[in-house]
Amino acid sequence: MRADDGQCVSIGSEPHYEEYSMQQNANDNATAPLGLTESQWEAICALRPADEAISPTAEGQRPASIYFSEERYKAEIEQLFKKVPLVAAPSCYLKPGESLAQDGYGIPMLLTRDKNGVVRAFVNACRHRGSKIVEGNEPVASARLSCPYHAWTYATDGRLIGIPRPETFPSAKKCELGLVTLECYEAGGMIWVGMDPKEKPGLLEGSDQLHADLEAFGLHTMHMYGRRTYDLKANWKFVMEPFLEAYHIQRLHADSIADMFLDVPSVYGFLGHHQRQTSGKANFSPDLLKGNIDNLHKYITHAYLCFPNTVVITSPYYMSIMILMPRGANRTVVDYFMLTKSEPDSDKAKELFARSFELIHEVFGGEDFRAAELQTAALGNGNSGVETLYFGGLEEMITPFHESIESFLDKPES
Ligand code: FES
Ligand SMILES: [Fe+2]
């Protein structure tokens, strides 16, 4: 606390990022039907019939140590996660006038949305003696934020607005004791935050197209149906990888969703470090694209890697968002969110959504996440003797994922 009259800058007054309108509809290109971006439509049109599929042969490999080395984990946090914008929550999870504590990244984040819809992010720590201010992990209505310890009170824009018994702090200048800010912007239906208060991470190349794609799906206007948090004994890259390849679907998911998909390559696209997979389901045929499709998501699945750690997957009646938050070389917290177009408005819709929510838990939780835990259980102590892991042609997008990570690291091989 300084006694002199320092320059006071109102928190949130100088956004580092471009402003994005929540109303903006990225898809104003008339040639792409069904509310898609032109880029999404081009990828869909590139899908071939299953019997014309060519088996891809691009192989890759990486040292097993990148999944359990403590040194590598620390480098990923310091040189990657602290340097890029990260998804903290889907936009629709935080309504005007609400605040939300997000602890998944291992630092206490606090998100607020003011009455005008503007989202901000702070470190969730009081400037008096450091208590967490907003507790729990669900959105709470809060016109102001009052610390539970001695009731120092902050506005949702982070300004300190109240100190009980202020005469006992004669040198305190409220304008210097606002909440510590984190870089924050909203785009593509998600709230992106920089996790290090000392950094101001800028938009990654390709993010504009990523945001446009996700907004074309209406992600920014959807309804938050449900959330589940998983605390996994697994390296975050092991958790990510099944969402970058379809090779495992007929095997790992043999008893659940395998029938809905084919063992063929998808159409892959790079949006900078972000990735887009466009996959025809078992019922897809290119002829379908000549007619009117009632619900594209019944025939085509889109999976996005929002680099580095968030996955968005489309389904006929809902969208899945998964934020993978590394907490150690062998630990990842996953926040899963299921978004629907609107609240269920009939018993049929209620049953459908509830069944989907459970199916996701069984498939992602019980199968994909389990595989990541099995890998970590086998390799995580570093003594397995397995030194190299291999990726085949149907896993070809895993290698560019690693290349993207490595491009941020001083010593990528460690
Ligand atoms: S620690 Fe927050 S008011 Fe004292
Ligand atoms: Fe899977």
The domains of the chain, with CATH numbers, are 38-84+204-406 (3.90.380.10), 93-193 (2.102.10.10)
**Which residue from 122, 131, 169 has its CB within 8 A of the most atoms of ligand 1, so it is best to mutate?**
131
Q: Does the Cβ of 146 fall within 6 Å of ligand 1?
A: no
Q: Does the Cβ of 128 fall within 6 Å of ligand 1?
A: yes
State the pLDDT at residue 20.
24
State the pLDDT at residue 187.
98
CA-based Rg of the chain, rounded to a whole angstrom?
A: 23
Q: Cα(146)–Cα(162) distance, rounded to whole angstroms? A: 9
State the pLDDT at residue 14.
29
Residue identified by tokens 């197209």 is 209
State the pLDDT at residue 21.
25
CB neighbours of 33 closer than 8 A, spacing ≥ 6?
41
Say which ligand is closest to the CA of 131. Answer: 1
Q: Does the Cβ of 150 fall within 6 Å of ligand 1?
A: yes
> How far from chain centre, in Å, is Cα 282?
27
- Local structure of 347: helix, strand or coil: helix
Q: Cα(339)–Cα(317) distance, rounded to whole angstroms? A: 9
- The residue whose CA has the least distance to atom 1 of ligand 1 is 129
Residue 150 CA, closest ligand 1 atom number: 3
State the pLDDT at residue 154.
98
Say which ligand is closest to the CA of 162. Answer: 1
pLDDT tens across the length of the chain (414 residues) = 333 333 333 323 222 222 222 222 333 334 555 579 999 999 999 998 888 888 899 999 999 999 999 999 999 999 999 999 999 999 999 999 999 999 999 999 999 999 999 999 999 999 999 999 999 999 999 899 999 999 999 999 999 999 999 999 999 999 999 999 999 999 999 999 999 999 999 999 999 999 999 999 999 999 999 999 999 999 999 999 999 999 999 999 999 999 999 888 899 999 999 999 999 999 999 888 888 777 889 999 999 999 999 999 999 999 999 999 999 999 999 999 999 999 999 999 999 999 999 999 999 999 999 999 999 999 999 999 999 999 999 999 999 999 999 999 998 765
CA distances from 368 to 32, 152, 251, 261 (A): 33, 44, 11, 16
